[in-house]
Amino acid sequence: MTHDELFELGSSYDEMLEQGISLSGESKDFFIEGRIDHLQARLHDTGAPPVTSVLDFACGVGDASSRLAAAFDGARVFGVDIAEGAVEEARRRVDNDRVEFGLLDAVAEDDRFDLCYVNGAYHHIPPAQRLAVTTRIFGLLPPAVSWRCSRTTRGALRPGW
């Protein structure tokens, strides 16, 4: 099965992920909430202005998108992904007026977001495309941005950079 086919499965991929994570003794939600709590704390520490819009890039089936909406009260969240199956599953799962989903081309050139959340994605993007993807994301953010990488993301970025 190719990587593209895997993510097109949407809900089946999610079940596989949950099975893998269960080895840690925690659920997928534990890790999502931990990441978002950490992000909120860092934004608070740096005195960042209130977040009114969030791009959840490579949103998968939308698990983090709904939690981002809960964490950033009043913010609109736009989850985008390359896999149509994942986007359809996200739309089925998340019922929230402030959360929308679409494929990558649903983000317009002049769209702007206060925050872009990217988790578990860079290692799926071919190294040769990572710079272009990152440049695109930066173009959607305000001029003064801070880029924070998790250990996994740093590892995924290193080989191609």
Q: How far is the CB of 122 from ligand SAM (least distance, A)?
A: 9
Sole binder of ligand SAM in the list 60, 69, 71, 89 (CB under 6 A): 60
- H/E element holding 53? strand 53-57
Secondary structure class of 117 (helix, strand, coil) = strand
- 104 vs 145, beta carbon nearer ligand SAM: 104
3 contact partners, CB below 8 Å, separation of at least 6: 124
Cβ proximity of 74 and 52 under 8 Å: yes
Q: Cα-atom radius of gyration of the chain, to the nearest Å?
A: 15
- 50 vs 96, beta carbon nearer ligand SAM: 96
119 touches ligand SAM (CB under 6 A): yes
94 touches ligand SAM (CB under 6 A): no
- 86 vs 115, beta carbon nearer ligand SAM: 86
Residue 144 DSSP code? S
Q: Which residues bind ligand SAM (CB under 6 A)?
A: 7, 58-60, 63-64, 81-83, 86, 104, 119-121, 124-125, 133
